[in-house]
Each structure stands twice: as C-alpha cells, then as structure tokens.
Amino acid sequence: MARALFLLTLAAIALGGCAQRWTKPGATEADFKIAQLRCESHGYQRLPAELFWTQVSAGYYAPGYRNCRKSHGSRRCESRPGHYVPARYGHVDRNEAARDRFVALCLADNGWRPVD
C-alpha cells in the first residue's frame, strides 16, 4: 500500500507540471521545480491522498460491424459481432482537486503567476 501511494504521489507530481505553465520574473525553470515540489509537499501534508474504489467508466455495448469491398471482381466481406465492454473500476483520490487548488495558491503566494 505504501509503495502504491508513493507511485501515486510521483505520478501526481509529474502530471501536475504538465497541466499549467507558471512564470516569475527573474526565476529559472529550476527555481520553479523547487517551488512546485515544496508546494506539492505541503499540499500532501495538508491534504493527503484519500483513495476510494469506485466505478471510473460505465459498461457499454460496442456494436458490431460489416465491411465489404470489391477485389478483382469478387466481393469480400469482413464482419465482427457486437460485444459488451464491462464497467471499469479503480482508485480515485478524493483530495486531488482541493490539493491542486492548494498548490496553485501556494505558487501564487510565492510570486509565481500562471501563463495563458
């Protein structure tokens, strides 16, 4: 469980940097990485991951298909029957959205501003 939480934390940190670009006059990319990691660390201390098991996508029926084409004067058809795709379940972090807002406020409080 601890390893899964550690990997989830690393994934959140890695993906968090992709969501939005930030700038601060006179600061470097390295300065941002340090500020971001500091804010994320505080965010996880204040709002730790609270995982719960839930349905992440509904089940559905994928329709079949039939594809016919002519080739050298003959007709060739390929068909595939429809099938049911079951619902998917997985862990979701209840605190993720609040933690993202906390990190954004932390960065803003330290002089960083979002780009775009």
- Is the pTM for the entire model greater than 0.85? no
Contacts of 98 (CB under 8 A, 6+ apart): 47
Residue 98: Cβ within 10 Å count: 14
Q: How far apart are CA 90 and CA 107, in angstroms?
A: 30
The single-letter code of the amino acid at 116 is: D
Q: Per residue in 53-100, pLDDT tens? A: 999 999 999 999 999 998 888 899 999 999 999 999 999 999 999 999
Dig out the tokens for 31 from the structure.
């300065």
The Cα angle at residue 56 between residues 55 and 60, in degrees rounded to 5: 85
Q: Residue 81's pLDDT is what?
A: 94
Q: Per residue in 17-34, pLDDT tens? A: 445 899 999 999 999 999
> Is residue 16 predicted with pLDDT exceeding 90?
no
